[in-house]
Chains A and B, each alone.
Chain A
Amino acid sequence: EVQLVESGGGLVQPGGSLRLSCAASGFTFSNYWMHWVRQAPGKGLVWISRINSDGTGTSYADSVKGRFTISRDNARNTLYLQMNSLRVEDTAVYYCFCLEAPAGEDWGQGTLVTVSS
């Protein structure tokens, strides 16, 4: 069974940094592209970043480009999202997501990031 477990969320002041992790198990992590998606409170889903299977290719939404960095450690089966220069509008639940994983096992449970002074 595929499992994706996020961690690293919390309360941070505007301008601060946070690193999210997504620990993967139950599948050959190194074979799959991975994504981060976020959802602000009461709002819709927003795709923010992707990384290819070996970590050499990345893409970002304009809203986070230059501030967030996606990376992965295939030896540790872990996906990361380094978030710098955080803004109030980055407050959201952050999910890791794998489109190729079986439905029902394709999302983590999410981790809440709150940016507030």
Chain B
Amino acid sequence: DIQMTQSPSAMSASVGDRVTITCRASQGINNYLVWFQQKPGKVPKRLISDASSLQSGVPSRFSGSGSGTEFTLTISSLQPEDFATYYCLQHKSYPWTFGQGTKVEIK
């Protein structure tokens, strides 16, 4: 099984900060990676597909990069509505696996 190691597990940041979240795959997954945002009590929202393709309607301050085993989600200037938990998902092979999540909290 492919393990997805997401870091950090939690972070405190201020509005306007640049935030970077990393997912590392235990083996190469090409670009079969999706990033989701989830707010408490809500359904996950897909932000980025194929490691770097921004979904329609997602603000351009979100970006994704990487291929193979290392991937990053970057929020260029954190906004109040971005405080949430972020997950990566590899869909290269079954069982699909999520990272354990990164909770972004207000500093």
Contact = CB atoms under 8 A, between A and B. Distances in A.
Interface of A: 35, 44-47, 50, 59-62, 95, 99, 102-104, 106-110
A88 to B, nearest CB: 21
A61 B56 CA distance: 31
B18 to A, nearest CB: 23
Interface of B: 1, 34, 36, 38, 43-47, 49, 55-58, 87, 89, 91, 94-101
A15 to B, nearest CB: 25
Contacts of B45: 103-104
Contacts of A95: 43-44
A109 B43 contact: yes
Contacts of B55: 103-104
Given A99-B91, A102-B56, A107-B44, A47 B96 contact: yes
